[in-house]
């Protein structure tokens, strides 16, 4: 293996603590050198060898840093990614990549001009539920697909404390840019760009300034309908994945365990990491001879966010094609900003 990629994080909030630092620190392809911590210096409690930067400027001025993870608030993604690129760093950029498709184009154009890699972090491609659903679809056991339904629901009546997500007029705020970026990316990963789509949003929480509900209907070739829905006032346990085809149906709850495991301090090198407990299986119903229905449980594919960082390594060191492509992100932003 070539020399590890010296890496720095722009923040150590939930994203840095759960989704980035554990993976960079345990992957031999990376060296976690430092993290920006403006006020509370907490990272060294877990990573005693790291440097704590007091500002983004201090991080970007470090000549040893090759890769910067831009995991600041979503309204600052465009600005901070541009700063990192112009400082001569490769960038791993949290979703949403920007507020508009025009900003995304400018970021990728800048990266090309400066001969740097810009990679967007879309971890939900590596959730157990999505991987299990993808495997069933690609097996052909459902026949020609009729409809695909993806949901990510929450029940949170209170307005969140992260003002950049909850304030009207702040770029890349609201539920569409938050959870919508995941659902749209899942769909694009499977089916590419839709032929057409409609989008509906609503505000249901008292005092909310931004949409807290959305629904997309995407039309694909061969009469495939894809429905993406998310709401912050959904109390029921709705399936995360539901696919209907001419030969059968597959349904699975959104029960990926990685975030909860990481939040409790489990490292991705733990043998139990990413393995869903018994009872989390998907249900596949197919139609046999004489229209007899056959139902079976499908064990969950192991979720594994480590694959993102393996891809980042190979892209940065070997110029391999990063799986979340510029085209995918451009299509995603067209849907989010509509």
CA–CA distance, 221 with 273 (Å, rounded to integer)? 38
Q: What percent of the chain has pLDDT over 90?
A: 91
Q: What percent of the chain has pLDDT over 70?
A: 100
- Which residues are bridge partners to 284 per DSSP? 250, 296
pLDDT digits (tens, 9 = 90+) for 14-63: 999 999 999 999 999 999 999 999 888 999 999 999 999 999 999 999 99
CA 270 → CA 72, 274, 277, 304, distances in Å?
Answer: 28, 9, 15, 12
Class level of CATH domain 124-304: alpha beta
- CA 113, distance to chain mean position in Å, is 26
Would you state the pLDDT for residue 291?
87
Confidence class of residue 289 from pLDDT cuts 50, 70 and 90?
A: confident
pLDDT digits (tens, 9 = 90+) for 176-194: 999 999 999 999 999 999 9
Q: Which CATH number is 5-123+307-325 given?
A: 3.40.50.720
Would you state the pLDDT for residue 162?
85
Number of helices followed by number of strands (H, E) in the chain? 12, 14
Q: Where in the chain is the domain with CATH 3.30.360.10?
A: 124-304
Q: Do residues 129 and 254 touch, judged by C-beta distance below 8 A?
A: yes
Confidence class of residue 270 from pLDDT cuts 50, 70 and 90?
A: very high
Q: Where in the chain is the domain with CATH 3.40.50.720?
A: 5-123+307-325
Q: Do residues 170 and 80 touch, judged by C-beta distance below 8 A?
A: no
Kindly report each contact of residues 217-225 with a partner whose C-beta sits within 8 Å and lies 24 or more positions away, as own/partner: 218/187, 218/194, 218/335, 219/194, 219/195, 220/191, 220/192, 220/194, 220/195, 221/195, 222/144, 222/145, 223/146, 224/145, 224/146, 224/147, 224/148, 224/191, 225/146, 225/147, 225/148
Confidence class of residue 282 from pLDDT cuts 50, 70 and 90?
A: very high
> What string of DSSP letters covers 56-87?
HHHHHT-TT--EEEE-S-GGGHHHHHHHHHHT
- Is the pLDDT at 1 greater than 80? The verdict is no
């Amino acid at each position: 293996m070539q020399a590890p990629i010296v890496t720095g994080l722009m923040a150590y909030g939930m994203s840095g603590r759960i989704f980035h630092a554990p993976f960079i620190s345990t992957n031999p392809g990376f060296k976690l050198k430092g993290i920006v911590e403006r006020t509370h210096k907490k990272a060294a409690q877990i990573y005693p060898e790291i440097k704590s930067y007091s500002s983004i400027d201090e991080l970007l001025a470090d000549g040893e840093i090759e890769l910067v993870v831009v995991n600041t608030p979503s309204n600052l993604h465009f600005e901070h990614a541009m700063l990192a690129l112009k400082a001569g760093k490769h960038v791993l950029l949290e979703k949403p990549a920007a507020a508009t498709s025009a900003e995304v184009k400018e970021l990728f154009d800048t990266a090309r001009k400066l001969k740097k890699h810009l990679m967007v972090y879309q971890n939900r491609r590596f959730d157990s539920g999505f991987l299990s659903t993808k495997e069933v679809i690609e097996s052909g056991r459902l026949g020609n697909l009729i409809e695909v339904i993806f949901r990510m629901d929450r029940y949170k009546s209170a307005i969140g404390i992260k003002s950049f997500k909850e304030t009207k007029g702040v770029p890349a705020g609201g539920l569409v840019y938050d959870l919508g970026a995941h659902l749209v990316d899942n769909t694009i990963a499977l089916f590419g760009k839709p032929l057409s789509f409609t989008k509906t949003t609503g505000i249901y929480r008292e005092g909310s300034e931004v949409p807290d509900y959305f629904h997309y209907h995407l039309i694909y070739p061969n009469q495939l309908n894809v429905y993406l829905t998310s709401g912050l006032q959904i109390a029921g346990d709705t399936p995360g994945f539901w696919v209907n085809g001419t030969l059968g149906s597959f349904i699975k709850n959104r029960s990926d365990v990685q975030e909860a495991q990481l939040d409790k301090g489990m490292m991705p090198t733990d043998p139990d990491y990413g393995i869903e407990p018994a009872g989390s299986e998907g249900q596949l119903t197919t139609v046999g001879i004489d229209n007899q229905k056959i139902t079976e449980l499908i064990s969950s594919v192991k979720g594994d966010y480590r694959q993102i960082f393996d891809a980042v390594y190979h892209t940065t060191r070997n110029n391999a094609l990063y799986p979340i492509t510029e085209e995918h992100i451009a299509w995603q932003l067209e849907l989010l900003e509509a």
